Amino acid sequence: MVQEPEIDKAINRYGEAYCKLWEQVRDNPNEFPSGVVSSGTIAEYWVKKYLEWKYNNSNVSFGLPTQKSWDIKVTYKDGKEVLYQVKSVSLFNKSRKLSPLVKGFDKLIVISLDCDFFPFQAYVFQDASVLNGEHNVQALVVPDPDNKRKRGSKVFSLAENIHSEFFGILGDNLK
Protein backbone atom coordinates (compact mmCIF):
# COMPACT_ATOMS: atom_id res chain seq x y z
CA MET A 1 0.00 0.00 0.00
CA VAL A 2 1.42 3.36 -1.04
CA GLN A 3 1.25 5.95 1.70
CA GLU A 4 0.00 9.44 0.80
CA PRO A 5 2.83 12.01 1.00
CA GLU A 6 2.48 14.66 3.72
CA ILE A 7 2.26 17.45 1.16
CA ASP A 8 -0.76 15.73 -0.43
CA LYS A 9 -2.43 15.51 2.99
CA ALA A 10 -1.70 19.19 3.66
CA ILE A 11 -3.16 20.20 0.29
CA ASN A 12 -6.29 18.17 1.03
CA ARG A 13 -6.70 19.83 4.47
CA TYR A 14 -6.15 23.26 2.88
CA GLY A 15 -8.80 22.50 0.25
CA GLU A 16 -11.28 21.35 2.90
CA ALA A 17 -10.71 24.49 4.98
CA TYR A 18 -10.99 26.73 1.91
CA CYS A 19 -14.30 25.09 0.96
CA LYS A 20 -15.65 25.57 4.50
CA LEU A 21 -14.66 29.24 4.42
CA TRP A 22 -16.19 29.67 0.96
CA GLU A 23 -19.48 28.15 2.23
CA GLN A 24 -19.55 30.71 5.07
CA VAL A 25 -18.82 33.55 2.66
CA ARG A 26 -21.57 32.39 0.32
CA ASP A 27 -24.10 31.94 3.17
CA ASN A 28 -23.22 35.23 4.94
CA PRO A 29 -22.63 37.74 2.12
CA ASN A 30 -22.67 40.85 4.37
CA GLU A 31 -20.03 39.43 6.71
CA PHE A 32 -17.23 38.99 4.16
CA PRO A 33 -16.16 40.99 1.10
CA SER A 34 -17.58 39.64 -2.14
CA GLY A 35 -15.24 38.21 -4.71
CA VAL A 36 -12.34 35.83 -4.30
CA VAL A 37 -11.36 34.54 -0.86
CA SER A 38 -7.75 35.66 -0.31
CA SER A 39 -5.47 36.95 2.41
CA GLY A 40 -6.53 40.46 1.32
CA THR A 41 -10.24 39.79 1.78
CA ILE A 42 -9.54 38.05 5.09
CA ALA A 43 -7.74 41.23 6.24
CA GLU A 44 -10.74 43.30 5.10
CA TYR A 45 -12.98 41.03 7.20
CA TRP A 46 -10.88 41.73 10.34
CA VAL A 47 -10.79 45.47 9.65
CA LYS A 48 -14.57 45.58 9.17
CA LYS A 49 -15.02 43.82 12.54
CA TYR A 50 -12.67 46.36 14.15
CA LEU A 51 -14.49 49.34 12.60
CA GLU A 52 -17.95 47.94 13.52
CA TRP A 53 -16.92 47.69 17.16
CA LYS A 54 -15.06 50.99 17.19
CA TYR A 55 -17.90 52.92 15.52
CA ASN A 56 -20.82 50.84 16.81
CA ASN A 57 -23.38 53.61 16.13
CA SER A 58 -22.41 53.81 12.46
CA ASN A 59 -23.06 51.77 9.34
CA VAL A 60 -19.94 49.88 8.21
CA SER A 61 -20.11 48.24 4.78
CA PHE A 62 -17.84 46.65 2.20
CA GLY A 63 -17.32 48.18 -1.20
CA LEU A 64 -18.09 46.11 -4.29
CA PRO A 65 -15.28 44.18 -6.01
CA THR A 66 -15.41 46.74 -8.84
CA GLN A 67 -14.54 49.51 -6.35
CA LYS A 68 -10.76 49.83 -6.65
CA SER A 69 -9.94 52.88 -4.52
CA TRP A 70 -11.56 51.85 -1.21
CA ASP A 71 -12.68 48.67 0.54
CA ILE A 72 -14.84 49.70 3.51
CA LYS A 73 -17.16 52.65 4.06
CA VAL A 74 -18.14 53.97 7.50
CA THR A 75 -21.29 56.10 7.42
CA TYR A 76 -21.88 58.05 10.63
CA LYS A 77 -25.32 59.03 12.00
CA ASP A 78 -24.83 62.58 10.68
CA GLY A 79 -24.37 61.20 7.13
CA LYS A 80 -20.61 61.79 6.97
CA GLU A 81 -18.75 59.01 5.16
CA VAL A 82 -15.15 57.87 5.59
CA LEU A 83 -13.66 55.56 2.97
CA TYR A 84 -11.02 53.06 4.09
CA GLN A 85 -8.53 51.30 1.90
CA VAL A 86 -7.23 48.06 3.47
CA LYS A 87 -3.87 46.64 2.50
CA SER A 88 -2.29 43.53 3.93
CA VAL A 89 0.67 41.24 3.87
CA SER A 90 0.75 37.73 5.21
CA LEU A 91 3.57 35.97 6.98
CA PHE A 92 4.10 34.11 3.71
CA ASN A 93 4.99 37.36 1.91
CA LYS A 94 8.74 37.65 2.53
CA SER A 95 9.07 41.01 0.69
CA ARG A 96 6.28 42.57 2.85
CA LYS A 97 5.46 44.71 -0.20
CA LEU A 98 1.85 45.89 -0.56
CA SER A 99 -0.09 46.03 -3.80
CA PRO A 100 -0.28 49.53 -5.35
CA LEU A 101 -2.60 52.16 -3.87
CA VAL A 102 -5.39 53.70 -5.91
CA LYS A 103 -6.35 57.29 -4.99
CA GLY A 104 -9.86 57.88 -3.72
CA PHE A 105 -9.78 56.80 -0.07
CA ASP A 106 -9.71 58.85 3.15
CA LYS A 107 -7.78 56.49 5.44
CA LEU A 108 -5.49 53.53 4.93
CA ILE A 109 -5.32 50.58 7.32
CA VAL A 110 -2.40 48.18 6.88
CA ILE A 111 -2.62 44.73 8.46
CA SER A 112 -0.05 41.95 8.74
CA LEU A 113 -1.54 38.45 8.93
CA ASP A 114 0.10 35.55 10.72
CA CYS A 115 0.25 32.04 9.20
CA ASP A 116 -3.22 31.35 10.68
CA PHE A 117 -4.54 34.51 8.92
CA PHE A 118 -5.15 36.30 12.21
CA PRO A 119 -3.73 39.85 12.31
CA PHE A 120 -0.55 40.44 14.31
CA GLN A 121 0.26 44.00 13.25
CA ALA A 122 -1.94 47.02 12.44
CA TYR A 123 -1.30 50.58 11.25
CA VAL A 124 -3.58 53.40 10.19
CA PHE A 125 -2.78 56.40 8.04
CA GLN A 126 -5.38 58.86 9.33
CA ASP A 127 -4.75 61.24 6.42
CA ALA A 128 -4.32 59.72 2.97
CA SER A 129 -2.62 62.89 1.71
CA VAL A 130 0.61 61.88 3.50
CA LEU A 131 0.92 59.12 0.91
CA ASN A 132 1.15 61.75 -1.84
CA GLY A 133 3.37 64.77 -2.33
CA GLU A 134 6.88 64.43 -0.95
CA HIS A 135 6.01 61.00 0.44
CA ASN A 136 4.60 59.76 -2.87
CA VAL A 137 5.05 56.01 -2.74
CA GLN A 138 4.43 53.60 -5.58
CA ALA A 139 4.72 50.52 -3.38
CA LEU A 140 4.70 50.45 0.40
CA VAL A 141 6.82 47.95 2.31
CA VAL A 142 5.45 47.07 5.76
CA PRO A 143 7.89 47.15 8.70
CA ASP A 144 8.88 43.73 10.03
CA PRO A 145 8.48 43.65 13.84
CA ASP A 146 10.74 40.59 14.05
CA ASN A 147 13.61 42.17 12.13
CA LYS A 148 14.66 45.69 13.18
CA ARG A 149 16.72 46.07 9.99
CA LYS A 150 13.53 45.79 7.89
CA ARG A 151 11.90 49.07 8.92
CA GLY A 152 9.69 49.23 5.85
CA SER A 153 8.87 52.35 3.85
CA LYS A 154 9.84 55.65 5.50
CA VAL A 155 6.24 56.90 5.28
CA PHE A 156 5.32 54.41 8.04
CA SER A 157 6.83 56.94 10.45
CA LEU A 158 3.67 58.97 9.73
CA ALA A 159 1.31 56.05 10.41
CA GLU A 160 -0.30 55.39 13.75
CA ASN A 161 0.49 51.96 15.17
CA ILE A 162 -2.96 50.77 16.29
CA HIS A 163 -1.81 47.34 17.40
CA SER A 164 -3.03 47.70 21.01
CA GLU A 165 -6.41 49.22 20.13
CA PHE A 166 -7.04 46.87 17.19
CA PHE A 167 -6.28 43.72 19.18
CA GLY A 168 -7.97 45.02 22.30
CA ILE A 169 -11.19 45.54 20.35
CA LEU A 170 -10.91 42.17 18.56
CA GLY A 171 -10.04 40.35 21.80
CA ASP A 172 -12.93 41.92 23.71
CA ASN A 173 -15.49 41.14 21.01
CA LEU A 174 -14.61 37.79 19.47
CA LYS A 175 -16.44 34.78 20.80
* Whether residues 25 and 43 fall in one domain: no
* Whether residues 4 and 66 fall in one domain: no
The mean pLDDT value of the chain amounts to 88
* Whether residues 5 and 64 fall in one domain: no
* Whether residues 61 and 22 fall in one domain: no
* Whether residues 62 and 137 fall in one domain: yes
Beta bridge partners of 141: 97
pLDDT at residue 175 tops 70: no
133 confidence band (pLDDT: 50, 70, 90) = low
Average pLDDT over residues 147-162: 87
Q: Domain count of the chain?
A: 2
Highest mean pLDDT of the ranges 13-17, 29-33, 98-102: 13-17
* Whether residues 50 and 5 fall in one domain: no
Give the pLDDT of residue 94: 80
Q: Is 17 helix (H, G, I), strand (E, B) or coil?
A: helix
CA distance 43 to 109: 10
Give the pLDDT of residue 47: 97
1 confidence band (pLDDT: 50, 70, 90) = low
Average pLDDT over residues 103-109: 93
State if pTM tops 0.95: no
* Whether residues 1 and 53 fall in one domain: no
pLDDT at residue 33 tops 80: yes
The C-alpha angle with vertex 168 and arms to 98 and 30, in degrees rounded to 5, equals: 65
* Whether residues 92 and 165 fall in one domain: yes
Which structural domain range is residue 61 located in? 38-173
Cα–Cα separations (whole angstroms), residue 48 to 75, 106, 142, 161: 13, 15, 20, 17
